[in-house]
Structure 1
Amino acid sequence: MLLVVAGGGATFAAEQALPGDFLYPLKVNLTEELRGALNFSTEAQADWAIERLERRLIEAEQLNVAQRLDERAKDQIERRVSSQAQAVVTLAAQLKARGQTAAAAGLESGIEAALRGHAEAMLSIISNNVHAADIAVGVTERAQATAEDRIETEHELAGKVSAEVKAAAEGKMNAASHKLAEVERFVNSKKGSVSAEIFAAAQARLTAAQAIFTQGKVDFEAGAYGEAFVAFQQAIRSAQEANIIIAAAERLHMESWIKIGPDATSTLMRQRDDDDELDDQSTTSTSVEILLDAAQKMRSDIRSRLEQRGRPAVEPGDGDDVADDASSSSSRELFNRTSVNTNTDVEIEAEDVKVNVNLNTNGSVELDF
């Protein structure tokens, strides 16, 4: 404690430290532990659990942008994300054991939104770093597992007596109302400081959140308290993701955003599993590595990327070419984009890879390569 008081400058500097920096152990092993020890209420503990996990994900994004995300840093981040995600699971179990099922569901919902939002941020950074892709896939997989836990907890809550479910739904409705208002103010305040595409992506999430919230109120008035609770949770997640989009774009100077589509989770996990098998055969794993710039044919800010198996992984600072591993042609819709509203076919050639990009009217990107 004396170190914290006497070395205030050091602890402040440590807050800015990233994995690999001299002060990073002070940040994660001292200052964060002390902050956690001072959270006594259930709400404070849950908020800190979400914030601490987000800190690790933000660090990964910052390292990626700074071209410092090497294998050692990736392993360190993955270990800490795993450890703190497990701490969330433990806290959720403790909350349920104490009969605080609604609080447990809220914690799981908040973690799910954080994981999904930051996985999208990692994929949206202009980078072909294989370690960033690996982290994004792992975070997406963890988000899916957290979603399954949340759904189970919500079902458990719905099975409780009506008065308890009603109280939980009413509390969540108030929380959602405040969250939507807070995020709306934040998003609107950043309209002039982020790109049009980033603002549109955040607005789309916020609009979805407002529509879901409205449906939740209809369910609540109809006495469907379990359904209302689920809807309010979803509205908060969507608003939280809108917040992440703006904050990440401003922090990392991003111009575009990739939304992970409904089928992307299983696709990304399957690709990672396939890459692991390739690694066992001493074959280089793949990465999200081709930046598709269709500015001259559409809008100046429409960009898209893809993850293609069999392409060489590029380490930070490594410009050497690696022979491609043969891969079969495929066509898959990986990512949905928010602000594309024209139906356009674009052919882009990058190095020795030719990619046909079909931008559909529903805002999706379909890749043939």
Structure 2
Amino acid sequence: MENKLEQLNEEMKNIALSREDKDKIREGIFSYMERHPVRNEIQVRRHSRKSMMGWLSSGYPSLFNLTHTRTMALALIIVLFLGGGVSFAADRALPGDILYPVKTEVNEEVRSWVAFGAKSGAELEADLAEERLEEAEKLALKGELDDEKSTALLAKFILHANSAKSNLKKLEEENKSKAAYEASVRHESSLEIHSEILGGLLREHESLKNLKTEVDAYANDAALVRAKVQAAVVIDKKVNTDRVARGMETASENKIGEVERYIEKQASLSETAKVGASLRLDDAKAIYAEGELKLESGAYGEAYVLFQQAKEEAEEAKRSLKTKKNLNIDAAGKVEINSETRDEEVKAGGLSESGATTSAVGRGDLRLEVEKNSERENGKIRSEGELKIDIDL
């Protein structure tokens, strides 16, 4: 116990928030506000996740035999004691690092407290599943993904992915098609991005094979769920209105502009690295244009779906570029590892994405989407071989 605290204390001495870190926090706050608008009613989310005190309680089990309420309070005390810089730095920790338990048992536990309802629960679990994938990718690139870590991360990914799936099913059962659609689109997009990068990394990192197989399976499931709720959204009376469609039109337009500016600012990345993101953004614009036509014709449900797809396609372009930059993958597929800055943002890089336009065509056409889903039912998955981390505060 003392040894762990001493190690943590040493880590704390060398931690400070950089300009980039602060920008990420601000971006995370705005992202959270966009995805979780103020509500009139608050639901208390009950969950049975392992207490974040498990790491510490191994030394003093009786001391940390707390109720959930007391655990929450103690976690907040720990966060305050460690300081915001340490808590934020822990988000970049990998399995085996001294700060990793702070990341999974404190930071992620705190995030779960504000995930009210099935939609927020689905989004959170999808984010955590993505986090486990990125951890596996980083460890593989560093040559540190042994069998034990690989098995543990695979199990945790499956746990989070199943939880996200359960929350999506609950939304379906409650006939909340709009919420289910929005959450499922984002989850599918995230899995497809990581299916691409895992496919590219498999050439040199066989340890990722089982994870890639599971990601493809869950991506297939997510696509089927999304197609199912998409059909429900189109005829949903609550969605099939001019006001709702125009609201998503504005959100989509804003997101496309935001991502366009983001790509332009990535001066550290090569033009080759940015090609894939630019193609995805072009696809988003094309889908948006289709949505405009549907809106003008009065097909509000279909317009809403297309605007939502355009918004997510643009966000996917941004996430894909951020992930490549974070993993430091260059256009040739080579990887540079700086052992001295183990968990920090690394310098420029990218991975070519020759097949980036495939998804947008399917998503942008409701008829083609059904055909593509029938292929998925026969076991086919989108092409592989390519490639937030979004902070949810």
TM-score by length of 2: 0.61
Is the 8 Å Cα contact of residues 177 and 236 (structure 2) preserved in structure 1? no
Preserved CA contact (<8 Å) 1:14 1:27: yes
Q: Is the 2:199–2:386 Cα contact (8 Å) retained in structure 1? A: no
SS state of the match for residue 240, structure 2? Answer: helix
Look up the equivalent residue of 1:100 and give its one-letter code.
K
Contact 1:113 1:240 in 2 (8 A): no
**What amino acid is the match of 1:131?**
S
More displaced, 15-24 or 107-116?
15-24
Partner residue, 1:203: 278
SS of the equivalent of 1:164 reads coil
Shift of 1:46: 5.4
In structure 1, the gaps of 5 or more residues are 272-332, 339-369
Partner of 1:144 in structure 2?
220
TM superposition shift of 1:123: 2.8
Q: Give the CA deviation at 1:141.
A: 2.3
Which residue is equivalent to 2:156?
80
Instruction: Choose the corresponding residue for 1:5, options 45, 55, 80.
Output: 80
Q: Does 1:227 align with 2:302?
A: yes
Task: Select which of 178, 183, 187 maps to 1:102.
Answer: 178
Tell me how far apart the structure 2 counterparts of residues 336 and 222 of structure 1 sit (CA, whole Å).
Answer: 39
Q: Secondary structure at the match of 1:165?
A: coil
Aligned partner of 1:246 among 308, 321, 335: 321
Query: How do residues 1-369 of structure 1 correspond to structure 2 at under 5 angstroms?
Result: 1=75, 2-8=77-83, 11-40=87-116, 45=121, 47-125=123-201, 128-161=204-237, 164-166=239-241, 167-190=243-266, 192-255=267-330, 256-258=351-353, 259=355
More strand by proportion, 1 or 2? Answer: 1
Worse overlay, 13-22 or 179-188: 13-22
| CA distance in structure 2 between the partners assigned to 1:69 and 1:336 by the alignment | 20
Which is richer in helix? Answer: 2
Shift of 1:110: 0.4
Q: 1:90 to 1:113 in 2, by over 3 A?
A: same
Q: Does structure 2 retain, via aligned residues, the 8 Å contact 1:49–1:84?
A: yes
Letter in 2 for 1:28: T
Q: Look up the match of 2:34.
A: none
What is the RMSD computed on CA atoms of the aligned residues?
A: 3.2
Q: Deviations over 1:29-67 (max 9, x none)?
A: 222011220244777555534432322222122112111
Structure 2 stretches lacking a partner, 5+ long: 1-74, 331-350, 360-371, 388-393
Secondary structure of residue in 2 paired with 1:64: helix
CA apart distance, 1:226: 2.8
In the superposition, relative to structure 1, how do residues 136 and 335 fare at CA in structure 2: closer, same or farther (>3 Å)? closer
The corresponding residue for 2:344 is none
Between the aligned partners of 1:13 and 1:194, the Cα distance in structure 2 is 24
The aligned amino acid for 2:264 is N
Using the TM superposition, give the Cα deviation of residue 183 of structure 1 relative to its aligned residue in structure 2, in angstroms: 1.2
Q: Counterparts of 1:173 and 1:231 in 2: how far apart (Å)?
A: 9
Distance 2:385 2:198 in 1: 15
Verify the 8 A CA contact 1:15 1:27 in the aligned structure 2: yes
Q: Deviations over 1:142-164 (max 9, x none)?
A: 11210100110111222333x53
Whole-angstrom CA distance in 2 between matches of 1:49 and 1:122: 20
Equivalent residues of 1:109, 1:237 under 8 A apart: yes
Q: Which amino acid aligns with 1:63?
A: L
Write the distance in 1 (CA, Å) between the matches of 2:135 and 2:284.
27
Does the residue aligned with 2:144 lie in a helix, a strand or coil?
coil
SS of 1:194 mapped into structure 2: coil
Q: 1:341 maps to which residue?
A: none
The CA deviation string for residues 156-201 of structure 1, in whole angstroms up to 9 with x for no partner, is 222333x5322543333232222212211111111x2212222111
Give aligned-pair identity as a percent.
Answer: 27
Distance 1:130 1:140 in 2: 16
Per-residue displacement from partner, 1:120-145 (whole Å, max 9, x unpaired)?
12233485111223323321221121
State how many pairs are aligned. Answer: 274
> C-alpha separation between the residues in 1 aligned to 2:127 and 2:257?
20
* Contact 2:233 2:301 (C-alpha < 8 Å) held by counterparts: yes
Q: Distance in 2 between matches of 1:103 and 1:185?
A: 28
For normalisation by structure 1, the TM-score amounts to 0.65
SS at match of 1:141: helix
Provide the C-alpha distance between the structure 2 equivalents of 1:337 and 1:47, rounded to a whole number of angstroms: 24
